[in-house]
Amino acid sequence: MESYGGPLARRLEVIGSCLEGEGVVSREVFLRLIDKTPREEYGDYGFPLMRFAGGRDLGEILSKVKGCVEALEISGVSLSIDRGFLNIRFNEYVIGREVISLYEKGWRVDVSKVGEADVKSIVVEHTSANPVHPLHIGHARNASLGDTLARMLKARGHRVVRRYYINDVGRQTAVVVYGFKILNATPRDVAAILKTKVDHAIGWVYALTHTAIDVVLARKNIVEEDLNLLVSTLARLRERGGRELADKIIEAVSSLEDPEVEVSKIMLRYEKGLEPEKSLVRSIAEAALEGFKETLEKLGVEFDYWDWESDIVWSGLLAGVLNELSKSGFTKIHKGAIALDTAAVVRSIVERDNVLRESIKLPRGFEVPPMVLSRSDGTTLYWTRDIAYSIYKFQQSKADKVINVVAVEQKLPQLQIRLALAAIGRVKEAANMIHYEYEMVNLPGRAMSGRRGEYVTLDELLEEAEARALLEVKTRNPNLDEETVRNIAKKVAASAIRFSLVQPGALKPLTFDTAKVLNFEENTGPYLQYTYARASNILEKHGPIKYELANPQTYSEPLRRNILITTLAYPMVSAKAADELRPEDLAAYLLKLADIFNKWYQKDSVIHEKDTEAREAKAVLVKLVKDTLSSGLTLLGVTPLERM
RNA sequence: GGGCCCGUAGCUCAGCCAGGAUAGAGCGCCGGCCUCCUAAGCCGGCGGUCGGGGGUUCAAAUCCCCCCGGGCCCGCCA
């Protein structure tokens, strides 16, 4: 049974149990639907009782529940009925007294943990950007969401493993290897010439090679792309990097009758694990990953495992899965190739399994297209490799649940992978593989494309944000030394970016306005950090809290009361956000809390309070806010700063 | 053609899944507040036919149907 803990949640749970005992509504539904009242005068929390009363007299239910609550010796809560709602008001004196004594005993503000029986082993796979171009703002959204989900679930008490899937098999790495072969240079050589990070150099070679190939193909009308556009892209890329290097690639590619032959050859040989392609691809991918790690570290994103797609192929895992699939009875010939008959899987497995059907959420009347399992030249396809990888993730981490943070445009393959798992009898895995989808990030006025080198890199963005934050921090803290200032600026910059990517719901298409994110008056990430710094500052000036002197009577003042009640909702709010995979709910809550605190800050000084009992009680509130923000911000990847 | 997502204040969004209390924030705009815990802040004001239309209900931003606008997917690409 779900339990949220903490002084507030404990009381709400009892009320829920009493309602359940009365046969009105289950405790679970009660806890799910209970919400803060829209207006203070109604009480603290409200529950739409009318919907569940089933014609019974609300007053009668109220008195029964009141009796039940009293019998269980729960104090500090009063209930009332108003316009069909069951309203709950907490007694700030009782609650405040409880908090003070909890703090005296060393209590810590934290996300409430799941019960021991509910602890799950969860894999979060995220970011997994192709190692052929630097990370851009879209990857940053993926990484921010993925890392935050991992942090929230871990804080909730689950065992969490973070995995990065390195897509080194396939055309994209073959293209970039081809480019480096022409140059007869390593990524590090090119990076030195271009004076950039190694992953940026790789991205440049990739875009250049890819576009040069497309020019050849467009000339022969094999691909339908605007030739003029391609040529101008090529020219732009040439200007951006080393012209000599660019010309070498362009000339070599143009001289070929069909550059695809070369690319295909590299791809085929790599998949077989043949040299020199094996070392070439690996060394380039590793160089790119080195660059990624540097970038991700700035954002505070870390991984437990880096999984190579090629290992899934070379280890024979994929061959085994393909074998299982072909014996499953669910394959058929589609357009001359062996394919998984996903529609048949739906009919004979999914529709007969309620759990699976619920989990997969197949649209009604939607015929899932078949899934071709391998190319006719014998090489594998990324989605079949991903089926094998999915099994690998479950097995390696003995996972109960695998969460894939993958862009919404991959919805269909993600669905097909689950159907494939079901087809080979891995129904449990199919039901527990979650596609956490997020919408793309657009730049104002243009589309992003790795193939064309059209992107704002995360490194550039971080650099710009740091520069702006540095100016700001310096003017505010003229006496701080250079290194401290620089560190604060870095944290502010990274936090601003992360928060802006995690605050809106993941399914909202995002237009990333660099200017807005970098404007710290508008961005709410730094606002939260600032609020935390204010709270820290007060406590620092106040010194150690004398809990024995703190008088909870003083919490009757409305603003103070509001802070008390709002902060105490944290264990519950953060737990819910984790369970529902909704970081945006946590973000909204923290903003609300910061608003309340800042409002209070303005008109009710703590350290200048003359009355000792009131001063200590107020300091307890500041500590509550500080601790809550500290925990919540950390989950969102926003670094709490004592000073900014 | 089929499927999914988004459409709420000038802008960015919350609320929709699990229908109820005067639809909320932030930014922007206008006007105020630093001899007093950091003004990255606070106070006040302006601003909404919740894309449109129908239906269900005592009650609809929320559920159902139709339509409109934007995005994504339907590949022997990743």
Could you give the number of structural domains in chain A? 4
Total residue length of chain A: 644
Q: pLDDT value at position A308?
A: 97
A136 three-state secondary structure? strand
Span A208-220, mean pLDDT? Answer: 90
CA–C1' span, A379 to B15, in Å?
A: 49
Give the nucleotide with minimal C1' distance to the Cα of A542.
B37
Residue A438 Cβ under 7 A from any strand B atom: no
Answer whether residue A109 is part of any domain: no
A621 CB-near residues (< 8 Å, 6+ apart)? A555, A560, A563, A564, A567
In the structure encoding, which two tokens stand for residue A523, read together?
């961005």
Whether residues A48 and A150 fall in one domain: no
Residue A2 Cβ under 7 A from any strand B atom: no
Residue A399 Cβ under 7 A from any strand B atom: no
CA–C1' span, A528 to B4, in Å?
A: 35
Whether residues A480 and A523 fall in one domain: yes
CA–C1' span, A44 to B58, in Å?
A: 26
Answer whether residue A451 is part of any domain: no
Whether residues A39 and A81 fall in one domain: yes
In the structure encoding, which two tokens stand for residue A346, read together?
């739906």
- Residue A622, classified by CB atoms within 10 Å of its CB into exposed (0-12), middle (13-18) or buried (19+), is buried
Span A551-566, mean pLDDT? Answer: 94
Q: pLDDT value at position A447?
A: 63
CB A227 within 8 A of CB A239: no
Kindly report which amino acid residue has its CA closest to the C1' atom of nucleotide B76. A375
Res A371 pLDDT > 70: yes
Of the candidates A191, A184, A13, which has an alpha carbon nearest to the alpha carbon of residue A88? A13
DSSP A566-631: HHTTHHHHHHHHHHTT-HHHHHHHHHHHHHHHHHHHHH--STT---HHHHHHHHHHHHHHHHHHHH
Give the pLDDT band (50/70/90) at residue A444: low
Whether residues A353 and A327 fall in one domain: yes
Final residue of a domain: which of A415, A442, A469? A442
CA–C1' span, A484 to B39, in Å?
A: 23
Span A577-591, mean pLDDT? Answer: 93
* Residue A129 vs residue A37, higher pLDDT: A129
Q: Residue A437: how many CA atoms within 13 Å on its side-chain side?
A: 13
CA–C1' span, A252 to B5, in Å?
A: 43
CA–C1' span, A525 to B25, in Å?
A: 15
Residue type, A111: V
pLDDT digits (tens, 9 = 90+) for A474-521: 988 888 899 999 999 999 999 999 999 999 889 888 877 777 787 777
Residue type, A249: I
Give the nucleotide with minimal C1' distance to the Cα of A540.
B37
Q: What CATH number is given to the structural domain containing A402?
A: 3.40.50.620
Span A118-126, mean pLDDT? Answer: 96
A361 three-state secondary structure? coil
Residue type, A642: E
State how beta strands A441-442 and A337-340 pair.
unpaired
Q: Which of A83-92, A215-224, A616-625 has the highest mean pLDDT?
A: A616-625
Supply the Cα-derived Rg of chain A in whole angstroms.
29
CA–C1' span, A6 to B58, in Å?
A: 38
Q: pLDDT value at position A366?
A: 85
Answer whether residue A84 is part of any domain: yes
Answer whether residue A40 is part of any domain: yes
Q: What CATH number is given to the structural domain containing A33?
A: 3.30.1360.70
CA–C1' span, A193 to B75, in Å?
A: 38
CA–C1' span, A555 to B17, in Å?
A: 37
In the structure encoding, which two tokens stand for residue A205, read together?
């070679």
Compute the distance between CA of residue A231 and CA of residue A244 in angstroms, rounded to an integer.
17
Domain range spanning residue A430?
119-166+309-442
Residue A355 Cβ under 7 A from any strand B atom: no
Distance of CA A26 to the CA centre of its chain: 31
Q: pLDDT value at position A42?
A: 86
Give the nucleotide with minimal C1' distance to the Cα of A489.
B40
Whether residues A591 and A562 fall in one domain: yes
Q: Which of residues 199-258 of A touch strand B (CB under 7 A)?
A: none
Answer whether residue A450 is part of any domain: no
Strand ordering across the sheet containing A305-308 = A305-308, A159-166, A121-125, A401-407, A433-438
Count of Cβ atoms closer than 10 Å to residue A625 Cβ: 30
Residue A643 Cβ under 7 A from any strand B atom: yes
A316 three-state secondary structure? coil
CB A435 within 8 A of CB A386: no
Give the nucleotide with minimal C1' distance to the Cα of A603.
B42
Residue A446 Cβ under 7 A from any strand B atom: no
A228 three-state secondary structure? helix
Give the nucleotide with minimal C1' distance to the Cα of A39.
B21
Whether residues A190 and A142 fall in one domain: no
DSSP state, A457? B
CA–C1' span, A622 to B41, in Å?
A: 16
Q: Which segment of A111-115, A155-159, A420-424, A427-431 scores lowest on mean pLDDT?
A: A111-115
DSSP H or E stretch at residue A63:
helix A58-71
Q: Which of residues 297-336 of A touch strand B (CB under 7 A)?
A: 334-336
Share of chain A above pLDDT 90, in %: 72
Compute the distance between CA of residue A359 and CA of residue A200 in angstroms, rounded to an integer.
40
Give the nucleotide with minimal C1' distance to the Cα of A34.
B18
Res A522 pLDDT > 80: no
Whether residues A506 and A631 fall in one domain: yes
Give the nucleotide with minimal C1' distance to the Cα of A476.
B38
Q: Which segment of A351-355, A388-392, A483-487, A499-503 scores lowest on mean pLDDT?
A: A351-355
A105 three-state secondary structure? coil
Q: Which of residues 571-600 of A touch strand B (CB under 7 A)?
A: 580, 584-585, 588, 591, 595, 598-600
Which ipTM did the prediction report?
A: 0.94
CA–C1' span, A578 to B7, in Å?
A: 28
DSSP H or E stretch at residue A537:
helix A524-542
Res A98 pLDDT > 70: yes
Q: pLDDT value at position A446?
A: 61
Give the nucleotide with minimal C1' distance to the Cα of A364.
B3
Q: What CATH number is given to the structural domain containing A601?
A: 1.10.730.10
Final residue of a domain: which of A411, A442, A473? A442
Whether residues A313 and A415 fall in one domain: yes
Residue A50 Cβ under 7 A from any strand B atom: yes
Of the candidates A257, A93, A290, which has an alpha carbon nearest to the alpha carbon of residue A186? A290
Residue A604 Cβ under 7 A from any strand B atom: yes
Kindly report which amino acid residue has its CA closest to the C1' atom of nucleotide B27. A522
Residue A470 Cβ under 7 A from any strand B atom: no
Of the candidates A540, A528, A596, which has an alpha carbon nearest to the alpha carbon of residue A568? A596
Res A640 pLDDT > 80: yes
CA–C1' span, A117 to B70, in Å?
A: 46
Final residue of a domain: which of A290, A317, A347? A290
CA–C1' span, A444 to B28, in Å?
A: 18
pTM of the model: 0.95
Compute the distance between CA of residue A560 and CA of residue A580 in angstroms, rounded to an integer.
30
Whether residues A161 and A220 fall in one domain: no
Give the pLDDT band (50/70/90) at residue A641: very high
Give the pLDDT band (50/70/90) at residue A5: low
Res A553 pLDDT > 70: yes
pLDDT digits (tens, 9 = 90+) for A329-344: 999 999 888 999 999 9
Of the candidates A308, A306, A285, A299, which has an alpha carbon nearest to the alpha carbon of residue A139? A299
Kindly report which amino acid residue has its CA closest to the C1' atom of nucleotide B23. A38
Give the nucleotide with minimal C1' distance to the Cα of A522.
B27
CA–C1' span, A636 to B48, in Å?
A: 31
Of the candidates A227, A211, A230, which has an alpha carbon nearest to the alpha carbon of residue A219? A227
Q: pLDDT value at position A234?
A: 92
Distance of CA A331 to the CA centre of its chain: 35
Answer whether residue A114 is part of any domain: no
Kindly report which amino acid residue has its CA closest to the C1' atom of nucleotide B14. A588
Answer whether residue A619 is part of any domain: yes
Q: Which nucleotides of B are covered by protein (CB under 7 A)?
A: 2-6, 12-15, 18-28, 36-43, 58-59, 70-78
Res A107 pLDDT > 70: yes
Residue A23 Cβ under 7 A from any strand B atom: no
> Within A255-328, where are the H helices?
259-271, 277-299, 309-314, 317-327
Whether residues A462 and A389 fall in one domain: no
Answer whether residue A640 is part of any domain: no
State how beta strands A45-47 and A85-90 pair.
antiparallel
Cis omega (within 30 of 0) on the bond before A276? yes
Whether residues A178 and A265 fall in one domain: yes
pLDDT digits (tens, 9 = 90+) for A9-34: 889 999 999 999 988 888 888 988 88
Residue type, A551: N
Residue A508 Cβ under 7 A from any strand B atom: yes
CA–C1' span, A493 to B12, in Å?
A: 20
CA–C1' span, A160 to B31, in Å?
A: 52
Mean of the per-residue pLDDT values of chain A: 91
CA–C1' span, A438 to B28, in Å?
A: 28
Whether residues A613 and A533 fall in one domain: yes
